[in-house]
Amino acid sequence: MDKLPRIPSPSGTVWREFRVTAVPIVAFVIVLILTIILWRTYVGPSTVVGEVETVRSIVASAQPGRVTQMKVTLLQRVKAGDVLLQVTPADLKMIDAQLSLSRTRISFLRAGIDYKVRQQNNRIGYAKLRLDWLSQKIELAAIQARTNYLAGELDRTRRSYLGLGTNQIGTVTSDTNSLGYGSFAAFQAAEAGLAQAMAQITERTKLIEDIEQTMTQMSPDEAKLAEEIPNAIRTAITVQEQELHLLEMQLAPVVFTAPMDAFVSSITHREGENVIAGEPIIVLSAVNSERIVAYLRQPLNVEPRLDQPVEIRSRSGRRNLGQGRILSVGGQMEVILPELLPAKTVNGAVEYGLPIVVSLPSGFKAFPGEIVDLHPQD
């Protein structure tokens, strides 16, 4: 008997049969796969939220001055000991006042030498010559202070004329075209001022050397000098020498170096700007951190203990997992940082919590300042 031909079904009937039989199975498989993915990446509500500690170092000048050289740029990586900047004392009025005070004291000493000592021409001549030597040293210190300032101005005007950066070097000649915002006249003025100051330094140095040579030749015996020159005057001269040495140290440019391996996270002053004592100039931030700072919110259900294991989870896409330990526990409630509070509670209200410090596991990838979730283990 011949097989009967198959009766064709309408397309609507076939689609209805597929929806009834196959779609539930496909939907179940898709939901199962999504559930597995979400289960593997889901992190339950954290008991504690912490922040990877940010280590910063502020570079500031201990005295007023002017930034003459800036060796770094924003976000530049530096190593401990690298030169960051140079500050030259820029308060010339204060420097002149200190030098004037030294001149006045020396004049007072010159006029106060005892009459009996003046009868000894050779020895009093030696004392006067020594005072002249101190006066020339003071004048030399004043010129050197101005030279340091002029050297910084020359370097700044040269780079501004050539349009160079902080670490670039260039030479200005008569046929050099301006590439920056500075003028050639300003560069020439700075160059002429520095050359004049350097010539004055050379002349003063030669004069001081000649006076020292003369003092060596006519230097009296120290025992006789102690008898014929009053001790008060000799002591005052010694004090002036020490003050001059201290003044020379204060007038020298101050070079700042990096105290640690870090990167430049902030620069608040540029070359040519004046700074006051204690004002931040550069802020350095460490690249890596070793600790996490967290707060236990109230009410405290458990009391943290030292060396207690803590599970650490990052909030990045890979959900890095590590285990640290509690290094220290605070002794009182502190204000919780706003970024560590849930979004729904950040309404300007202040909340207090118990601070704890947790070690960061070795190899755990987390940037300083990154928020992580902590789960203390029993």
| CATH assignment of the domain containing 281 | 2.40.50.100
Kindly state whether residue 33 falls inside one of the protein's structural domains: no
Higher pLDDT among residues 69 and 210, named by residue: 69
> Considering its fold, how many domains does the chain have in total?
3
CA pair distance 241, 253, nearest whole angstrom: 21
Q: Tell whether 99 and 196 lie within a shared domain.
A: yes
Kindly state whether residue 339 falls inside one of the protein's structural domains: yes
Rounded mean pLDDT, 5-31: 77
Q: Tell whether 138 and 211 lie within a shared domain.
A: yes
Kindly state whether residue 318 falls inside one of the protein's structural domains: yes
- Of all residues in the chain, what percent carry a pLDDT higher than 90? 20
| CATH assignment of the domain containing 348 | 2.40.30.170
> Rounded to a whole number, what is the distance in angstroms from the first to the last CA of the chain?
80
Q: Tell whether 159 and 202 lie within a shared domain.
A: yes
Which token pair is 165?
A: 């950066």
- Of all residues in the chain, what percent carry a pLDDT higher than 70? 72
* Per-residue pLDDT, 140: 75
* Per-residue pLDDT, 91: 60
Domain interval for residue 270: 56-68+72-82+257-286
Kindly state whether residue 218 falls inside one of the protein's structural domains: yes
Q: Tell whether 223 and 196 lie within a shared domain.
A: yes
* Per-residue pLDDT, 222: 47
Tell me the per-residue pLDDT of 213-244, one tens digit each, with 9 for 90 and over: 776 766 654 444 444 455 666 677 777 777 77
Kindly state whether residue 30 falls inside one of the protein's structural domains: no
Tell me the per-residue pLDDT of 74-118, one tens digit each, with 9 for 90 and over: 999 999 999 999 998 766 666 667 677 777 777 776 666 554 445
* CB atoms inside a 10 Å sphere around CB 11: 8
**Residue among 74, 139, 73, 65 at smallest CA distance from 102:** 139
Higher pLDDT among residues 39 and 300, named by residue: 300
Q: Is the pLDDT of residue 369 over 70?
A: yes
pLDDT-derived band at 41 (thresholds 50, 70, 90) equals low
Q: Is the pLDDT of residue 166 over 60?
A: no
Q: Tell whether 211 and 140 lie within a shared domain.
A: yes
Q: Tell whether 296 and 317 lie within a shared domain.
A: yes
Kindly state whether residue 14 falls inside one of the protein's structural domains: no
Q: Tell whether 170 and 315 lie within a shared domain.
A: no
Rounded mean pLDDT, 298-310: 86
* Per-residue pLDDT, 72: 93
- Predicted model pTM: 0.56
Give me the phi and psi of 77, to 5 degrees please. Answer: -80, 135
3-state secondary structure of 297: strand
Q: Is the pLDDT of residue 43 over 60?
A: no
* Per-residue pLDDT, 243: 73
Q: Tell whether 280 and 304 lie within a shared domain.
A: no
